[in-house]
Amino acid sequence: MLVKRKGITISRQIMDDQMLHPGATGELTGLLNDLVVAGKIISAEVNMAGLADILGQSGRTNIQGENVQKLDVFANQTIKRRMEQCGHVCVMTSEEDDDIIPVLDGYEGNYTIAFDPLDGSTNIDVNVSVGTIFSIHRRLGGTGQGSAADLLQRGSKQVAAGYIIYGSSTVMVYTTGHGVYGFTLDPSVGEFFLSHPNITIPEHSLYYSVNEAYANHWFDSTRRYVDFLKQADGGKGPYSLRYIGSLVSDFHRNLIKGGIFIYPETDSAPKGKLRLLYECNPIALLAEQAGGKATNGKTRILDIKPTSLHQRTPFYVGSKNMVAKAEAFLKICNT
Ligand code: AFP
């Protein structure tokens, strides 16, 4: 395996990844490089948000009298445009679109992409970090336009997944199944450079992330686990709560520092809130590749067979020991 040094460019890394797969055609490399371009475009727009008065509803005009879009609409269009003509994708699904999204005729490729163009977007106008999340599968077979079936594959079949977080700096974190790497965008030259080689998530930590406002609506098992986190836990605890309300930000922090992120089922939302295809699957693959764990409480996230594009699932992800402990609580309380 090639030793990665801080400072290599993301395109170099993507090409190195390709070399790990003898016989690779370069299609995935091309797709990822186009995603990088989309990330740079969205990053520039997010950074200009306050200045350009782009916040607010679609259809508003900015101070130059131009029609402006909400950033999530902008991000969605940017990714769709890059992907529909990159020549490597056969079908897409996005958090912003009800149905599958075709690619341009003549540009069909061998991969599918599911994405959340700007997750956490309700936080944009208060300068909270938001992110683009993506999940890539190889199509089931055939040629031409892909179908929903190509998208409804298990997370364990992902060939690449990651996110781009637009925060104090823009960082792209991704995996192609050979570890997790983070690249920070240097806006002065418009290039992502390796800043976080071979990320591993600490096996244990003292952070947990959950929206406790819903505690009265959780199942007993979840409530007991979170209560446990507030106790001493043999001298390890009490744990500290860190919740931003933007999955990419919460997960990114836990990936680097360790911790567990929980979005559980509630009595009114028995499947939770987060979406399997373009939120939980890609984050779960990153977590596992970094040595962590991801479950819905009963089943490994990556083993769930999706049945619909926008299906939701309860989500417990992060440091291996903490997720295992949560699972143990859920099993005991549910029996
Ligand atoms: P938005 O994209 O609508 O801001 O939702 C963000 C999100 O899907 C995810 O990023 C957060 O973890 C989660 O919702 C926060 O949900 P609660 O506000 O219910 O805690």
Angle at 97 between CA 96 and CA 100, to 5 degrees: 140
Ligand 1 centre to CA of 35 (Å) is 23
- Mutation test residue for ligand 1: of 274, 283, 310, the one with most atoms within 8 Å of CB: 274
User: Mean per-residue pLDDT for 308-313?
Assistant: 98
d(CA 269, CA 293): 23
Residue found under tokens 């101070």: 63
Prediction pTM value: 0.93
- Which residue type sits at 181? Y
Ligand 1 centre to CA of 245 (Å) is 5
Q: How many CB atoms lie within 10 A of CB 20?
A: 12
* Tokens read off for 94: 């996005």
Among protein residues, the one whose CA lies closest to atom 5 of ligand 1: 120
Please determine, for residue 56, whether its predicted confidence score (pLDDT) is greater than 50. no
Give residue 53's pLDDT: 55
Residue 52: per-residue pLDDT: 56
Non-local (6+) Cβ contacts of 301 within 8 A are 155, 276, 280, 281, 284, 294, 295, 313, 315, 317
Q: Among 71, 119, 209, which is best to mutate for testing ligand 1, by the most ligand atoms less than 8 A from CB?
A: 119
Q: What's the one-letter identity of residue 283?
A: I
Pocket of ligand 1 (CB under 6 A): 119-123, 211, 245-247, 273-274
- The answer to whether residue 62 scores a pLDDT higher than 50 is no
235-251 pLDDT tens trace? 777 899 999 999 999 99
- Give the residue, by CA position, lying nearest to ligand 1 atom 12: 247
Q: State mean pLDDT over 209-230.
A: 95
Q: How far is the CA of 217 from the centre of ligand 1 (A)?
A: 17
With 70 as the cut, is the pLDDT of residue 64 above it?
no
DSSP assignment letter at 250? H
Q: What is the pLDDT averaged over residues 154-180?
A: 96
pLDDT digits (tens, 9 = 90+) for 85-128: 999 999 999 999 999 999 999 999 999 999 999 999 888 878 88
Task: Output the residue whose Cα is nearest ligand 1's atom 4.
Answer: 120
Whether omega for the bond prior to residue 238 falls within 30 degrees of 0, making it cis, is: yes
Atom number of ligand 1 nearest to Cα 119: 2
Q: Which of 18-22, 45-49, 185-189, 196-200 has the lowest mean pLDDT?
A: 18-22
Does 66 or 42 have the greater pLDDT score? Answer: 42
Q: Tell me, what's the pLDDT at 50? A: 66
Protein residue whose Cα sits closest to atom 2 of ligand 1: 120
**Coil/strand/helix, residue 104:** coil
Question: What is the b/e burial string over 204-213, where b = at least 16 CB atoms within 10 angstroms of the residue's CB?
Answer: bbbbbbbeee
pLDDT at 54: 47
- Whether residue 333 is predicted with pLDDT greater than 90 in this model: the reply is no
What pLDDT, on a 0 to 100 scale, did the predictor assign at position 57? 45
pLDDT tier at 189 (50, 70, 90 boundaries)?
Answer: very high
- For the segment 29-36, the average pLDDT, to the nearest whole number, is 96
- Whole-number pLDDT of residue 15: 83
Q: What's the mean per-residue pLDDT of the chain?
A: 91
Confidence check: pLDDT of 195 > 50: yes
Query: Helix 27-47 to helix 10-19 angle, to the nearest 10 degrees?
Result: 160
Which residue's alpha carbon is at the smallest distance from atom 16 of ligand 1? 245
pLDDT in the model for residue 90: 98
